[in-house]
Structure 1
């Protein structure tokens, strides 16, 4: 199952109890409440859906746009 930008936004919003519409592409997700443990939980959730993703691939890009770029590259490389 491919991860979409909308799915990512909804998963992040659910993790921090926010409305998905409130999360902008360039918002700093750390400022919104995504810490390393929450990031790890999101990665585990996405791994369960078949995305081969490592913590380090997202840890240095704490915006939705940065994470989406990394996930798109992963999905393109895996043929998802």
Structure 2
């Protein structure tokens, strides 16, 4: 997930703070939709609005973590 986000932001993974708002780092709706599409293709059950309302890597990791 970190690498995917870094790729769409044209950044290195270590430059991305897991607690920083990704919208403030340049993530726009088109890039967010590309991430949603990619992760759905890989089997994630996630919606655009879920990620948009919680725009940090830490929150996304919680949303995308398999239920135990």
TM-score by length of 1: 0.78
Superposed CA deviations along residues 38-65 of structure 1, whole A, max 9, x for unmatched, are: 1110010001111121112111111111
Q: Give the distance between the partners of 1:28 and 1:59, measured in 2 at CA.
A: 10
Structure 2 residues not aligned, in runs of 5+: none
**Correspondence 1:76 to 2:62:** no
- Equivalent position to 1:57, from 50, 55, 67: 50
Whole-angstrom CA distance in 1 between matches of 2:61 and 2:29: 17
* Number of matched pairs: 68
1:67 and 2:60 aligned: yes
Distance 2:59 2:17 in 1: 12
Task: Point out the structure with the larger helix share.
Answer: 1
TM-score normalised by the chain length of structure 2: 0.90
The runs of 5 or more residues in structure 1 that have no matched partner are 1-7
Of residues 20, 23, 26 in structure 2, which corresponds to 1:30?
A: 23
Query: Runs in 1 of length 4+ with deviation above 4 angstroms?
Result: none
Q: CA RMSD in A?
A: 1.2
